Structure 1
Amino acid sequence: MKTNESSFHRFVEIVKILHKYHIEKGMDPVKFRHILEDLGPTFVKIGQIMSTRQDMFSQRYCEELTKLRSNVAPLPYETILEILRENYHKPPLEIFESIDEVPLGSASIAQVHKAVLRDGNPVVLKIQRPGIYKEMESDVNLIRKAIKVLNVSETLSSVVDLNMVLDEFWSTAKQEMNFHHEANNAKRFKEIYKDTAYINAPSIYETYTSNLVLAMEYIGGEEIDDSLALDQQDYDRKEIARKLAYNYVNQIIEVGFFHADPHSGNLRVDQGQIVWIDFGMMGELSIRDRDLMRQGIEALANRDTNLLVETILTLGVCQKEIDYSKFTVEIDRFMNQYVNQSLVDINLPKMIQDMFAICHRYSIMLPKGISMLARSLVTFEGTIKALDPMTNIMEIVSMYRNDLLDIDWAKQLKKTTLKVLDAANKSLDLPITLDAVLKAVQKGQIKVNLNLLGSEAPIANLDRMINRIVVCVLIAALLMGSSIICTTNMKPKVLGIPLIGFLGFMIAFGMSLWLFVKMLFLHQKNKPF
C-alpha cells in the first residue's frame, strides 16, 4: 500500500513537471533539457543516452543534451558504511584499513570512495546508491503512464520516440547497475592490451566485488588534461596524444570493443602508461558492422556513391519509406564535400554530424554500436585537442587506411565459395518454389502490392489521359446514337429533327467544346482534368 502511494505521488510530480513546461504547446531543445533536469537523476541519465543517438534525434537536441550533468549530492558517510556492511556481512573496517569520508565522485547511480585494504593496497570502491534500481524501474513505468495521460508521444513524435528511448535507457541502466558487468569489461580490456606497454587498466578485486560494490585498483598519476602536471613530470604530450589516438583507432578497427565514454576524466597517465578507467559504458562492433564500415571507407576512397548508399541502408534500419533517388543525391553531395580533402584535413566531428544529420532526416536508425561510436569519436576528438592541439585523429586513421582497403583474398575466396554453394542449393529448389507460387496465384492466395517511388506524376498524367479517352468515347457514342435516331420519324421534332436526336447532338457538341477548352487552356496551368 505504501509503495502504491509513493508511486502515485511520484506520478503526480512527473505530470506536474511536464505540465509546468506546457509541452502541449511544443518542444525545443532547451525546454527538453530543463524538463529532464527537473525530473531527476533517472531522466538525466535518459537524456545522456539520447545525446549519443544522433541518428535518432536532431543535432540541436543532441548538442543541448550533452550539457546535462549527473553530479548529485553525495550520500552521508554513515550510509556508505551501512551499504558496505550489508554487502560484506561484516563491519567494513574489518576489511579496509581506512575509507575516505569525502567521495572522489558522486553520480546518479553510484558514489566513489578511495579506501586502503588491510594489506596496504589502495583501492577505489564504487558503491551503488541504495534502492536506485527500484527507483529507476518505477520512474520508467511512471513516465510511460505520463506519456499516455498527456499524449506526449503525439506532441514529440517529430522529435523523439520516447518509448524507444526508455527501452534503450532501461537496458543500458540495468547493465550499468550490475557491477559484475563493468568488472568483466575492465578485465576483458586489460587482457586485450596486456602486451601493449603504454596502455593499462585498473585490476579488479573480485573478492570484494558484487552487483552493488565494485572494488578496483586505485590509479594515481596525473589527469590526462592536466597539462601543467604532465609538463612538470617531463611527459611529451604530443607523444601521449598520438599513442592514445592510435590505441583508440585500434579499439575500433581491430578489436571492435571500445571505450564509449572517452572524456579526459576517464583517462590518466601513471608511470609512463595511459590508463583507461570506468568501464561502465563500452561499445561493441560485430564483425558484420566492421566489414560494413570497411566497405563504407572503401566507397569514400573510391568516390562510389552507390556503394556508400548501399552500405548505409544495409547497416541501418529505415523507420519509414525513403525516396531512394533523393537520398542518393544527398549522399553524393556529402561525398563531394569530403572526398577531395586529405584524411588529415577532414574535420571529423563535422563529418560525423553531417552523416548522422542525413540519416536522421531519412529516419534511418543505425545500430547502437555505430551510434555510440559516432558520439564517442566526437568526445575523443575533444580529449585529444585538450591534450595536444596539433594532433589529429584522422592522421592515425590514415595509417590504417591501406590495411582497411587491402583485400583479404582468403576471406574473399571463402565468402565467394559459400555464395556459389548457396546459389547452387537455391537453384535446385527454384522449380519447386516457382510451381508453388504459380498455384497460389491461380487460387488467388497471393496479392502483390507494387509501390514505385517517384511514380506519382506519371500515374496522375495517365489518369488524366484515360479520363479524356472516356469522354471522347462518350461523345462518339452520343453522335452515333443521335445520327441513328435522326433517320427515324420519332416525335416530337425540332426543326424537322427528332427531339432526342437533337438533344444528343447538342450534348455531344457541348462536351466536345468543354474538352477542347480543357485541353487547350487549363492544361497549360497543369490543373488536373
Structure 2
Amino acid sequence: MATLAQSVKNYSKFIGFILKYYNTDIFKKVSDEATANTAAEQAAPASEDEYNKPEELVEDLKKLGPTFVKLGQLLSTRPDFLPDDYLEALATLQDDVESIPYADIEKIVESELGVRMSAAFASFDTEPLASASIGQVHKAVLRSGREVAVKIQRPGIRKKFLEDLSSLKEMTALAVKHSKTARKYSIDSILDEMQHILLNELDYIREAQSLQIIGENLQKFRLLLVPAPVMDYTTSRVLTMDFVDGKKVTKITPYERMEHNYGPVVDDFVKAYLKQVIVDGFAHADPHPGNVNITRDHKIALMDMGMVARFSPLMQDKLMALVLAIGMKNGDEITDTLLDISKYNPAQADLDAFRKKVNRLAMDAQSTSANDLQMGKLIMKMTRIAADEEIKIAPEINILGKILLNMDQIVAVLKPDYNLQQAIKDYAGKMMQAKLRQELLPENILSNLVELKKLGKHLPERLNKITENLARNEFSMKIEAIDEKRFTDGFQKVANRITLGLIITGMIIGAAMMMRIPTRFTILGYPGIAMIFFLAAAVSSLLLAYNIIFSDENFKKKKK
C-alpha cells in the first residue's frame, strides 16, 4: 500500500494527465459515444490548441512511469476505447529508461542466485544489451561455456507497480461510481486485467515456464527459435536463458530482403502463431516487432514471454472458425461466430446493425488484394463496431486482434507481398488434423469418458424427475419467446392430456380385469361395474378426441 505522500503524488500526476487530455480526441470520442451524441457532434474537429497528437500521449505515458507505459500497451488492444491513430501509437510504445548501474546488478544477481558472480559465470558483460521498465538484460557465459542472456528485475519495481495500481484502483472505483462512460467501458475491469498481466510479468519463474512450454510446442518449426531458459540460474527476479545473436526484425534493410528469401521464414512464423492460438491454447500474446529478432542464420527468434494468453478448447474452435471466415471474407459467418462468443442484452444490442456493418467490412475486404488484407486491423474494427452496438466481445478476440496486428507488421517488413489469406487456407487442414489428434489423446478420451459416466449416472434420475413433474402438472420452463403464455399454455395442455390418457388407460385395464369377477349387478349380461368403467373410458376418449380435433383448430383460428 502506498504511503499518504506517495498517494498524493500519484493522484496529482494522474489528475494532471486527465486534465490535459480531457477535452481532446482521446476522451471526446469515448464520451460522445457513451452519451449517444449526434453524428455532427462526434465529427466536430478538435481545436488547434488541444493536445490530440498520439505521439504526445505516448511521451506523457513514459513520463508517468513504467506502470502507465504498461497501461498504454494494454490499451492498444482496445479499439472500442480509442481512435485508430492512438491505437497505432500505443502499439509501438516502448519505454526508454536509464540503465541500472552494474554494481546494483551484481548485488541482485548474487543475492538471488546465492553465489558470487565469478562462481556462477565465466564472464558477465557490464554493459546491458537492453534496458526496459521492468528489467535489464546482460550477456554472460556460464562456467560450462554456454552463452546466455540474463534478465535482471529493477530494484523496487514491484513496490512501484503496486503503489501506482493501488492509487489507480481507488480512482477508477470513483470513476465507475460516478461516470456513465467509465461504467460502459468497464475501466475497472481493464485495470484488473492490467494488474493480472503485470504481476505475471514480474515473476520470472513463470516467464521461464512459458519459454519452456512454447519452445516445446513450436519445436517442429525449424525456422523458428525460442530461447531455452536455464532453470538452475533463474529466480523470480533473475531470468537466465540462451543468448540469441541477432537483431530486431524492424532493422532488416531492403537490400537484405532482396538478398534473402524470407518467405519460408514468414510461413513458419504465421503457422506457429496460428498453432499457438488454435491448437495449443497457449500463445505468446505480445509479438510486437521489438520482441521478434532475426538471427544471423535467418531464423525468427521470439523474445520476452512475459505476456502469454490461454484459450479454452471451446474458444480455440471458435477462433479457428472466425479466422477461416475472415479468410473467406464471409460476413454472415463472421457475425455468427462473434455473436456466439459475445455477451449482449437482446433488448439493447442492435444485432441487425451489427450484422450489416460486419458484412459491409467483409465486402470491402473482398475488393482488397489478398496480400493487402490486414486481419489484425479487420478484427479491431469489428470489435469497435460491437462496442457501438452494445455487444461485449470476448476478451480473447482482442488478444487475437493484437497478435494478428503485430503479425501484420512483421510480415510487412520481411515479405510485403506475402499472402496471409492463402497461408491460413493452406494451414487450416493441418490445424483441424492437429485438433483431432489432440482430442484422441488418452487424457482427453478419459475426460470425455468421465463426462459420459456422469451423464449416464444422472440421466435416469433427471428423466424420472421430468416425468414426475409432467404427471403432477408441475413441469416448468424458463423461456424467452414472442408469446411465452401461449407456449406454456400449450405445454400445460400436453401434460393434462397425457395425464387424462393415463387415467383412461387405467380405467380400461381395471374394467378388463373386473370382467372376470362374477357379480349380481350386470349390464347386458356383463359385470355392471366393469361396463360402467368401459363406458366412462369411451366417453372420456371421445371428448378428448373432439377437443384435440376441433378445439385446437378453433384456438389457432382465434390466434390468427
Give the structure-2-normalised TM-score: 0.67
C-alpha offsets along residues 243-291 of structure 1, whole Å, 9 cap, x if unaligned? Answer: 3333333333333333222233322224454322221122332221121
111-120 or 61-70, which deviates more? 61-70
SS at match of 1:236: coil
C-alpha offsets along residues 407-431 of structure 1, whole Å, 9 cap, x if unaligned? Answer: 979989x99x97x989998665444
Residue 433 of structure 1: how far off its partner (Å): 5.4
Q: Paired residue for 2:127?
A: 102
Residue 95 of structure 1: how far off its partner (Å): 1.6
SS at match of 1:141: helix
Q: Paired residue for 2:272?
A: 247
Matched, 1:27 2:52: no
Residue 181 of structure 1: how far off its partner (Å): 0.9
Tell me the distance in 1 between the aligned counterparts of 2:255 and 2:79: 34
Matched, 1:134 2:159: yes
Residues 81 and 43 of structure 1: is their aligned pair in 2 closer, same or farther, counting only changes over 3 Å? same
SS at match of 1:123: strand
Tell me the distance in 2 between the aligned counterparts of 1:297 and 1:19: 38
Q: Paired residue for 1:289?
A: 315
Residue 225 of structure 1: how far off its partner (Å): 4.0
79-88 or 318-327, which deviates more? 318-327
SS at match of 1:21: helix
Residues 373 and 15 of structure 1: is their aligned pair in 2 closer, same or farther, counting only changes over 3 Å? closer
Matched, 1:87 2:112: yes
Q: Paired residue for 2:410?
A: 383
Residue among 342, 363, 370 paired with 2:397: 370
Matched, 1:10 2:35: no
- Aligned letter for 1:293? L
Q: Paired residue for 2:306?
A: 280
Residues 353 and 305 of structure 1: is their aligned pair in 2 closer, same or farther, counting only changes over 3 Å? closer
Residues 40 and 242 of structure 1: is their aligned pair in 2 closer, same or farther, counting only changes over 3 Å? same
Contact between 2:376 and 2:403, CA under 8 Å: does it hold in 1? no
Q: Paired residue for 2:294?
A: 268
Matched, 1:45 2:66: no
Residues 15 and 363 of structure 1: is their aligned pair in 2 closer, same or farther, counting only changes over 3 Å? same
Contact between 2:350 and 2:390, CA under 8 Å: does it hold in 1? no
The aligned length equals 444
CA RMSD of aligned residues (A): 4.2
Q: Paired residue for 2:340?
A: 314
Residues 328 and 432 of structure 1: is their aligned pair in 2 closer, same or farther, counting only changes over 3 Å? farther
Q: Paired residue for 2:529?
A: none
- Aligned letter for 2:6? S
- Aligned letter for 2:27? M
Residue 210 of structure 1: how far off its partner (Å): 0.4
Residue 62 of structure 1: how far off its partner (Å): 2.4
Q: Paired residue for 2:373?
A: 346
- Aligned letter for 2:354? F
Q: Paired residue for 1:467?
A: none
Q: Paired residue for 1:485?
A: none
Residues 62 and 173 of structure 1: is their aligned pair in 2 closer, same or farther, counting only changes over 3 Å? same
192-201 or 428-437, which deviates more? 428-437
- Aligned letter for 2:360? R
Contact between 1:105 and 1:112, CA under 8 Å: does it hold in 2? yes
Gaps of 5+ in 1: 453-529
C-alpha offsets along residues 132-165 of structure 1, whole Å, 9 cap, x if unaligned? Answer: 1121111111122334567896285388432111
Tell me the distance in 1 between the aligned counterparts of 2:345 and 2:107: 48
Tell me the distance in 1 between the aligned counterparts of 2:309 and 2:480: 40
Tell me the distance in 2 between the aligned counterparts of 1:404 and 1:66: 29
Residues 280 and 274 of structure 1: is their aligned pair in 2 closer, same or farther, counting only changes over 3 Å? same
Tell me the distance in 1 between the aligned counterparts of 2:18 and 2:439: 58
Tell me the distance in 2 between the aligned counterparts of 1:157 and 1:262: 29
Residue among 169, 172, 177 paired with 1:144: 169
Tell me the distance in 1 between the aligned counterparts of 2:257 and 2:387: 46
Gaps of 5+ in 2: 29-51, 484-560
SS at match of 1:27: helix
Q: Paired residue for 1:215?
A: 240
Residue 351 of structure 1: how far off its partner (Å): 2.2
- Aligned letter for 2:3? N
Residues 227 and 343 of structure 1: is their aligned pair in 2 closer, same or farther, counting only changes over 3 Å? closer
Residue 192 of structure 1: how far off its partner (Å): 1.8
392-401 or 74-83, which deviates more? 392-401
Tell me the distance in 2 between the aligned counterparts of 1:95 and 1:233: 43
